[in-house]
Amino acid sequence: MGQLFSSTPKDEDHGDLESSFTEYFKNYKEESKIISKETVRLIELHLKKGNIQGANSAISDALKNIDTVPINVAVTGESGAGKSSFINALRGVKDEEEDAAETGVTETTMAITPYKHPKIKTLTLWDLPGIGTMKFPPKDYLEKVEFKKYDFFVIVSTTRFTKYEVDLAKAIRLMKKNYYFVRTKVDSDLENEKKCKPRTFDREKTLNQIRSSYLHILRDNGISEPQVFLISNHDSSDYDFPVLVDSLFKELPAQKRHNFMLSVPNITEAAIQRKYDSAKQFVWLEAMKDGVLSTVPIVGILKDSDVEKLEASLSHYRVLFGVDDESLEFMAKDAQVPVEQLKKNLKSPYLLQTKNEETLGGKLLKYLEKFASANGGLLATGLYFRKSFYLQFHFLDIVTEDAKVLLREAYSKI
Ligand code: GDP
Ligand code: MG
């Protein structure tokens, strides 16, 4: 192991770097990558020519772009359709929380209200007035709401979509933006159906009936490949909510996927896994950027500044994956169990606790060794990352597992 960590890249390693880079991104489907094909190609080109400086700056630019590019989501629909509830569900904010979008209120103004995501500062959800209320032709409506700034539109309804909304969708497409038809409150539909037909009630059948009636109407109104997502804002893990989130993720430009995915609450294991995949690519790029220019020998102990940075990155991951102390307290209160009970099956809260004589640096080195022996493949790629990056991968693994454990526990209680 010593050798793997102690060398710095030599000139003849550039070919290796290029193939390692190419190989790494082959692990991810095009739709899951957090950098675009063009960026991947550009970096490969630099590496092929041995232009480490160029590769480094292309990776830097890509990372900076991922960190700073704004993501704006437009949510439109008539009053009562469930816009505010949908925005809260996407932000992972409970309706009663302080900065929640107020639900159940009839709007008296035509105001456009932005809601910033509590964890991802670059993501804003915009609550737009319904087009039916505004009585504007679609083009004027889109001008009024400044359509250019949105990445996509979510058109929310709890009844059938009106002609206004269908025309709006067509206009959005003409402007080369994506839209998604979302039908809220399907939980209520199912409940009603169950009450009316207690003996013959069939959940899937009812959902399919609702879906096909919508697709029918949309097709009749000239939408050629209609899609409608049936959701409940009160249960974002169920119905089409997770499928909707997945579509939004895949259809975003690559550089926006990372932050969008990190913003999504832990609704399903698949969503947690996507978060993990995004975060891992990000750290990998950081490591690559740092590593390929690294001239410092990577032997010996971890520097204090590295240890501090690692502590900070673990807390950051815990927040992003919803397993930080505050989130755990919150969850415990919701589930009416002591927080210790939630914590006892988790690893991340205790990861950096030291006992007796042990130093944090020493503990981290032990993790590093364990991680290295468990991930032979990663270390065999011919890359020389700094130690701290392997530990960041380790933290990501632990935090992701914790998030999955919590999700499973939440389900086992229902
Ligand atoms: P807005 O006017 O479009 O912002 O709609 P709100 O989000 O304020 O929702 C109006 C009402 O519908 C509120 O009482 C919500 O709690 C309720 N509501 C919203 N979405 C759902 C849903 O998916 N299922 C159920 N059962 N109720 C919902
Ligand atoms: Mg509202």
Residue whose Cα lies nearest atom 8 of ligand 1: it is: 103
Tell me the CB-side half-sphere exposure of residue 410, using CA atoms within 13 A.
18
Q: What is the CATH number of the domain that holds 130?
A: 3.40.50.300
Residues with CB under 6 A from ligand 1: 77, 79-85, 103-104, 184-185, 187-188, 232-234
List 123's β-bridge partners, or say none. 71
Is a pLDDT exceeding 50 seen at residue 10?
A: no
- The answer to whether residue 2 is domain-embedded is no
Domain shared by 182 and 156, yes or no? yes
Q: What is the pLDDT of residue 387?
A: 78
Is a pLDDT exceeding 50 seen at residue 8?
A: no
| Mean pLDDT within 157-172 | 95
Q: Look up the domain containing 136 and give its range.
A: 69-261
- The answer to whether residue 203 is domain-embedded is yes
Domain shared by 207 and 235, yes or no? yes
Shortest-distance atom of ligand 1 to CA 77: 3
Is a pLDDT exceeding 70 seen at residue 2?
A: no
Interacting residues of 13 by C-beta distance below 8 A, sequence separation 6+: 382
Q: Is residue 314 within 8 Å of 395, Cβ to Cβ?
A: yes
Domain shared by 239 and 301, yes or no? no
Q: Is residue 59 within 8 Å of 285, Cβ to Cβ?
A: yes
Residue whose Cα lies nearest atom 27 of ligand 1: it is: 185
Is a pLDDT exceeding 90 seen at residue 411?
A: no
Identify the domain boundary among 203, 231, 261: 261
**Cα three-residue angle 280-281-285, rounded to 5 degrees:** 115
- CA-atom Rg of the chain in angstroms: 24
What is the chain's mean pLDDT, rounded?
Answer: 89
Is a pLDDT exceeding 90 seen at residue 20?
A: no
Single-letter residue type at 368: L
Residue whose Cα lies nearest atom 5 of ligand 1: it is: 82
Q: What is the pLDDT of residue 15?
A: 59
Q: Ligand 1: which of 165, 183, 233 to mutate, judged by most atoms within 8 Å of the beta carbon?
A: 233
Is a pLDDT exceeding 60 seen at residue 312?
A: yes
Domain shared by 140 and 218, yes or no? yes
How long a stretch of residues is the chain? 414
Report how far residue 97's alpha carbon sits from residue 182's, in angstroms, rounded to the nearest whole number: 24
- The answer to whether residue 221 is domain-embedded is yes
How buried is 192 (Cβ within 10 angstroms: 0-12 exposed, 13-18 middle, 19+ buried)?
exposed
For 375, the token pair is 């991930």
Identify the domain boundary among 212, 228, 261: 261
Q: What is the pLDDT of residue 107?
A: 60
Domain shared by 246 and 294, yes or no? no
Residue whose Cα lies nearest atom 15 of ligand 1: it is: 104
Q: Who wins on pLDDT, 185 or 303?
A: 185
Q: For residue 108, what pLDDT band results from cuts at 50, 70 and 90?
A: low
Domain shared by 98 and 57, yes or no? no
**Cα three-residue angle 297-298-300, rounded to 5 degrees:** 105
Residue whose Cα lies nearest atom 20 of ligand 1: it is: 82
> Among all chains, which residue has been given the structure tokens 């204090």?
304
Domain shared by 118 and 102, yes or no? yes
Q: For residue 252, what pLDDT band results from cuts at 50, 70 and 90?
A: very high
Residue in 126, 118, 181 with CA at minimum distance from that of residue 149: 126
Q: Residues 35-89: pLDDT tens digits? A: 999 999 999 999 999 898 999 999 999 999 999 999 999 999 999 999 999 999 9
Compute, in angstroms, the gap from residue 104 CA to the centroid of ligand 1. 6
Q: For residue 19, what pLDDT band results from cuts at 50, 70 and 90?
A: confident
Compute, in angstroms, the gap from residue 229 CA to the centroid of ligand 2. 19
Domain shared by 201 and 306, yes or no? no
- The answer to whether residue 349 is domain-embedded is yes
Q: What is the pLDDT of residue 378?
A: 52
Shortest-distance atom of ligand 1 to CA 127: 4
- The answer to whether residue 403 is domain-embedded is yes
Domain shared by 225 and 316, yes or no? no
How buried is 309 (Cβ within 10 angstroms: 0-12 exposed, 13-18 middle, 19+ buried)?
middle
Residue whose Cα lies nearest atom 22 of ligand 1: it is: 185
Model-level pTM? 0.92
Shortest-distance atom of ligand 1 to CA 233: 23
Q: What is the pLDDT of residue 368?
A: 83
Q: Count of domains in the chain?
A: 2
Report how far residue 202's alpha carbon sits from residue 190's, in angstroms, rounded to the nearest whole number: 9
Which ligand minimizes its atom distance to the CA of 78?
1
Is a pLDDT exceeding 50 seen at residue 12?
A: no
Identify the domain boundary among 205, 234, 261: 261
Domain shared by 188 and 111, yes or no? yes
Pairing type for strands 113-116 and 123-128 reads antiparallel
Domain shared by 278 and 322, yes or no? yes
- The answer to whether residue 114 is domain-embedded is yes
Single-letter residue type at 360: L
- The answer to whether residue 5 is domain-embedded is no
- The answer to whether residue 159 is domain-embedded is yes
Compute, in angstroms, the gap from residue 36 CA to the centroid of ligand 2. 35
Q: For residue 297, what pLDDT band results from cuts at 50, 70 and 90?
A: very low
| Mean pLDDT within 6-20 | 58
Domain shared by 80 and 221, yes or no? yes
